Structure 1
Amino acid sequence: MDHLSEAARIRRGVVRLNRRLRQERGNEAGLTPNQLIVLGHLHRHHSATPGEIAVAERQRPQSLTRVFGELEAEGLISRAPDPVDRRQSVLTLTAKGHRALDQDMGERDVWLAEALGSLSATERGVLELAGVLMERLAGS
């Protein structure tokens, strides 16, 4: 099997699993995909400027401006002046934001844990390794 065929097969699997994980979201918190992107970024990086988030998530800063405002109004993120460049602001996840993100991830983790129960220990190990490798690929 050549690399292009392997890539297509992996992509199909990732897309189908991603679709199913989205379906498993209870979404009681009402978080939009862009809100989840911002909360997830801040969860991984602790704090960032709006521009840093936009660049890292390959979004236009203007398209996230409303999202930042919504999250701040809901108390899920806080905004403070950048200590180095006072013209910039630094966004940070609040305790309420952590809870909302944990709830959203937890709903999907419950479904995935149940689904993994139908696999053998070897298959679960392969998927765990695949998860590590996919994170590494996503970062490259």
Structure 2
Amino acid sequence: MAAEQPAHENLSAGIRQGVVRLARRLGAERPADGLSLNKSSVLGHLRRNGPMSAGALAAADRQQPQSLTRVFAELQRDGLISRTRDDRDGRQRLLEITEAGREALAHDMAQRDAWLDTALTGLNETERQVLLLAARLMDRLADS
């Protein structure tokens, strides 16, 4: 008889599988003209956290700043972010989402949100509240 897995391993595997499957399904709902994952991630960080330096933004996204240099340049070229001098440290430049960036991010998320809204109608109120709590907890886990 096979040894039973500890409960935390079943929990970890179950969460990982659910998150991966949902991420893939949401990815399939991306609009054809949507933003790249890196661009939407950068814009999302700036929308949630306000202006940030390139280094802080890369760290928040668990990437090297050099890996995002082209993404930052393209976002600025397209008018989705702006760069301003940091008032506290004149040597630093801060990246900030523009109104066009907010609109592009909203457009990018709209199709996925519409699919998710439809899928959530098949759940009862308690299940929706459990998912909301789980989403908050996953955010905390992602920040750890």
Runs of 4 or more consecutive aligned structure 1 residues displaced over 4 Å after TM superposition:
none
What are the Cα deviations for residues 26-53 of structure 1, in whole angstroms up to 9, with x where unaligned?
142x411111111011011111000111
Alpha-carbon distance in structure 2 between the residues aligned to 1:62 and 1:122: 44
Q: 1:19 aligns with which of 24, 27, 50?
A: 24
Match of 1:40 in 2: 44
Contact 1:35 1:71 in 2 (8 A): yes
TM-score of the superposed pair, with normalisation by structure 1? 0.93
For the aligned residue pairs, the C-alpha RMSD in angstroms reads 1.2
Match of 2:70 in 1: 66
Match of 1:104 in 2: 108
TM-score of the superposed pair, with normalisation by structure 2? 0.91
Gap runs ≥5 in structure 1? none
Number of aligned positions between the proteins:
139
Q: Alignment identity in percent? A: 53
Contact 1:48 1:91 in 2 (8 A): yes
2:137 is the alignment partner of 1:129: no
Between stretches 114-123 and 67-76, larger displacement belongs to: 114-123
Match of 1:55 in 2: 59
